[in-house]
Amino acid sequence: MVLAADFDITQQRVIESTNQPDQWLVHGRTYAEQRYSPLNQINTETVKNLGIAWVFETDTNRGHEATPIVVDDIMFSTSAWSIVYANDAKTGEMIWKFDPKVPKEKAYFVCCDVVNRGVAVWQGKVFLGTIDGRLIALDAKTGEMIWEKMTVNPSQAYSITGAPRVVKNKVVIGNGGAEYGVRGYVSAYDADTGDLVWRFYTVPGNPEDDLEEGENEKNESIMKLAASTWGGSNWLEVGGGGTVWDSMAYDPELDLLFIGTGNGGPWEQSRRSPDGGDNLFLSSIIALKPDTGEYVWHYQTTPGDKWDYTATQHMILAELEIDGRLRKVIMQAPKNGFFYVIDRTNGKLISAENYVKVTWASHVDPDSGRPVKIESGNYEEELKLIFPGPLGGHNWHPMSYNPNTGLVYIPVLEMYFAYSKDEAFTFDERLWNTGVDSKTTIPPKNILQLATLIKSVRGRLSAWDPVEQKEVWRNYHTLPWNGGTLTTAGNLVFQGNSDGEFVAFQADTGKRIWSTDLKSGIIAPPITYNIDGEQYVSVLVGWGGMFALYAGMPAKYSGGPVNGKIVTFALGSDLSIADGPPVLEMPYPPESNADQVSIDNGEAKYHSYCFVCHGAGAVGGGVISDLRYMSEETHDKFSAIVLGGMYANKGMVGFSDHLSPEDAEEIRAYLIQRAKDTYYLERLNSFLK
């Protein structure tokens, strides 16, 4: 089907959309990325009549994180593996689909699931970043490819999960890979031709070297300054990190593009910068000129990061009245636990307070704008339990800002992490490079310790007053990793959660006033739009991402992956979702005569090589195979899969260059033991029912 509309999104149209909320034209609805909609047909009175108007099933079963774009009544969205769908936004009917055919073994080099956060639409084209690092322009009417550029060195473990943004006819895209030894940057490509216009590196190169392709020579002095904040020369070999993997915002009046940068790579600072230092521009918000990539200012949230504290979290632009003065601010709740309000004209700190428990710093000094680090965050000498952990107090799940309530709605994670320096660390670009001992992720054997750990990990929706810097209301959920938020003029906040509920809260009070069960974990942020006088709310459903893969804490619907969905609601509709994934039942595990030493070795190796995807303690999160439930047939093929790469086409590469046949057998012995533990627990649970 060829569409008649032009999908002619222009700068002017995006700017005017602030007061014209019928469509959802750009990632955060407007360039300010507030994720606030002035639509109010669905409100605190009418929301009780909200029901499912249409459901579209995607054909991938891993995490769904996209924000759909709605323009000229067509919805453009993405699923896992960077697949794009164009659907009629009123009926859900698919118009076209584009699959960039990402090599599946790429999954191994992606820290946090093969997710994609959506496309950009601009003057008849749809722009997509792919897991393997390509930027692709499609014809919005047909889904046919117009141009394609490789934005990264494909021999390195770069990836793209973020949504491109288009500013002044330039498509801006960053990348991920900080755990795999890459050097972060952001690039701008000409929307018409796909030619590289500029590139800004977030980690300096060797000051002795020439500029790289696309680098602005006006940035030479600031890059020299950045290089002076790194010690030793390790970072030139291990990449340094600082990847621009998600958030951006644009202020057309100031003509500034804001980007957020990621953590240090490796995490543990001495492995990349042995003499310490701030390590600019890790964990920073940076303002650039969108025409040239010229540096304007930066604000570093976590100088000398060693906790994986990215500042790639969602950034919101707003005008706030602070001490009687209207201020142009940028707001961010990065992983490090502080909520920042920054003057976006100059990058100076206005205020910062912790929105979640923080033990690595006492506070942010208002004069210097720097965090005051404390000993409880220092794990150089001994293991420390530190708040927040590497998933942060808030991760990529977008927050939203409602100008009527003056509140920011943050999907908060309450999680700590046991950080311990890995003394045996060596850099290996085929592995996770954190410099932090991964064996601390082995769950405690003691049942009371385990119960305490599980109880301490929670999710929370916080309504935060950015002027007063304090929480106004909160709502808890059993698990963290709940979806991004949308807020509307109907005095509502919408959020999906890890248990598959889609919930409406009253925006000013936090009262939970409506919910429905969508039968698979929700991590994506909802959007809203209006066609022919009818307001719709839409959200992607599909459990996945980092917490789901690694945490070893299954959500309610975790009996195995089901395909993702786009679920769209309207008033007076009443479709429902068929049942969720089946409940898994453990086959009796095969016999093993491995001794306890081998099982313990297997446990340690599992937590070095396998847990990042298959879950701590071998407890899968319902996204990819839970290895405790392996069939006899899979046990027989174990070494062909683990060493031989038999399932490379599913994303499970072979590990023969890191594991010996004995290692693989010890890991299998550990899995059999975990399967037995689970088998008896399941039987016990069914007796107790």
Q: Which stretch binds Ca ion (CB under 5 A): 261-269, 338-346, 397-405, 419-427?
A: 261-269
H runs (alpha helix) in 271-347: none
Q: Indicate the residue among 143 and 242 with the shorter CB distance to Ca ion.
A: 242
Q: Indicate the residue among 178 and 412 with the shorter CB distance to Ca ion.
A: 178
Report which residue type is found at 236. L
Tokens linked to 486:
């949308």
Q: How far is the CB of 303 from Ca ion (least distance, A)?
A: 17
Which of 204, 178, 187, 165 minimizes the C-alpha distance to 309?
Answer: 178
Which of 281, 258, 279 minimizes the C-alpha distance to 269?
Answer: 279
Neighbouring CB atoms inside 10 A of 193's CB total 12
Q: Indicate the residue among 178 and 623 with the shorter CB distance to Ca ion.
A: 178
Q: Indicate the residue among 131 and 507 with the shorter CB distance to Ca ion.
A: 131
Phi and psi, residue 410, nearest 5°:
-110, 125
Q: From CA 394, how far away is CA 413, in angstroms rounded?
A: 6
Q: Which stretch binds Ca ion (CB under 5 A): 6-14, 171-179, 462-470, 621-629?
A: 171-179
In the region spanning residues 287 to 316, those forming contacts with Ca ion, defined by CB under 5 A, are: 308
Orientation angle between helical segments 596-609 and 661-688, nearest 10 degrees: 100
Q: Indicate the residue among 241 and 466 with the shorter CB distance to Ca ion.
A: 241
Q: How far is the CB of 546 from Ca ion (least distance, A)?
A: 9
Q: Indicate the residue among 178 and 342 with the shorter CB distance to Ca ion.
A: 178
Q: From CA 291, how far away is CA 271, in angstroms rounded?
A: 36
Catalytic: which of 308, 422, 508, 626? Answer: 308
Binding mask of the shown chain, residues 415 to 434, with x at each position contacting Ca ion by CB under 5 A: --------------------
In the region spanning residues 339 to 358, those forming contacts with Ca ion, defined by CB under 5 A, are: none
In the region spanning residues 217 to 236, those forming contacts with Ca ion, defined by CB under 5 A, are: none
Q: Indicate the residue among 263 and 498 with the shorter CB distance to Ca ion.
A: 263
Q: Can you tell me which of 116, 263, 462, 592 binds Ca ion, judged by CB under 5 A?
A: 263
Q: How far is the CB of 229 from Ca ion (least distance, A)?
A: 20
Q: How far is the CB of 459 from Ca ion (least distance, A)?
A: 19
Which of 279, 247, 287 minimizes the C-alpha distance to 263?
Answer: 279
Q: How far is the CB of 433 from Ca ion (least distance, A)?
A: 11
Q: How far is the CB of 412 from Ca ion (least distance, A)?
A: 18
Sign of torsion over alpha carbons 136, 137, 143, 144? negative
Query: How is 310-324 classified by DSSP, letter by letter?
Result: ---S-EEEEEEEETT
Whether a cis peptide bond, with omega within 30° of 0, leads into 281 is: yes
Q: Is 600 a catalytic residue?
A: no
Q: Indicate the residue among 116 and 313 with the shorter CB distance to Ca ion.
A: 313
Q: How far is the CB of 304 from Ca ion (least distance, A)?
A: 16
Number of residues located near Ca ion, criterion CB under 5 A: 3
Q: Which stretch binds Ca ion (CB under 5 A): 28-36, 102-110, 255-263, 431-439?
A: 255-263
Q: Ramachandran region of residue 544, left (φ > 0), alpha (ψ -120 to 50) or beta?
A: left
Mode of pairing for the β-strands spanning 485-488 and 36-37: parallel
Q: Indicate the residue among 111 and 624 with the shorter CB distance to Ca ion.
A: 111
Phi and psi, residue 532, nearest 5°:
50, 45
Q: Indicate the residue among 178 and 226 with the shorter CB distance to Ca ion.
A: 178
Q: How far is the CB of 380 from Ca ion (least distance, A)?
A: 20
Q: How far is the CB of 98 from Ca ion (least distance, A)?
A: 29
Q: From CA 452, how far away is CA 444, in angstroms rounded?
A: 10
Neighbouring CB atoms inside 10 A of 375's CB total 9
- Torsion (CA) 137, 84, 459, 402 in degrees, nearest 10: 60
Q: Which stretch binds Ca ion (CB under 5 A): 20-28, 260-268, 348-356, 480-488?
A: 260-268
Which SS3 state, helix, strand or coil, does residue 135 take? strand
Which of 482, 627, 662, 433 minimizes the C-alpha distance to 617?
Answer: 627
**8 Å CB contact between 179 and 433:** yes
Helix (H) or strand (E) holding 146: strand 145-150
Q: How far is the CB of 262 from Ca ion (least distance, A)?
A: 6
Q: Which stretch binds Ca ion (CB under 5 A): 146-154, 173-181, 294-302, 603-611?
A: 173-181
Per CB under 5 A, 113 contacts Ca ion:
no
Mode of pairing for the β-strands spanning 248-251 and 264-265: unpaired
**8 Å CB contact between 314 and 117:** no
Chain position carrying tokens 């769908």: 85
Q: Which stretch binds Ca ion (CB under 5 A): 256-264, 296-304, 483-491, 585-593?
A: 256-264
- Torsion (CA) 196, 151, 434, 354 in degrees, nearest 10: 60
**8 Å CB contact between 108 and 177:** no
Tokens linked to 476:
């808890």
**8 Å CB contact between 74 and 568:** no
Please give the residue ranges that form the binding site for Ca ion (CB under 5 A): 178, 263, 308
Catalytic (active-site) positions = 308
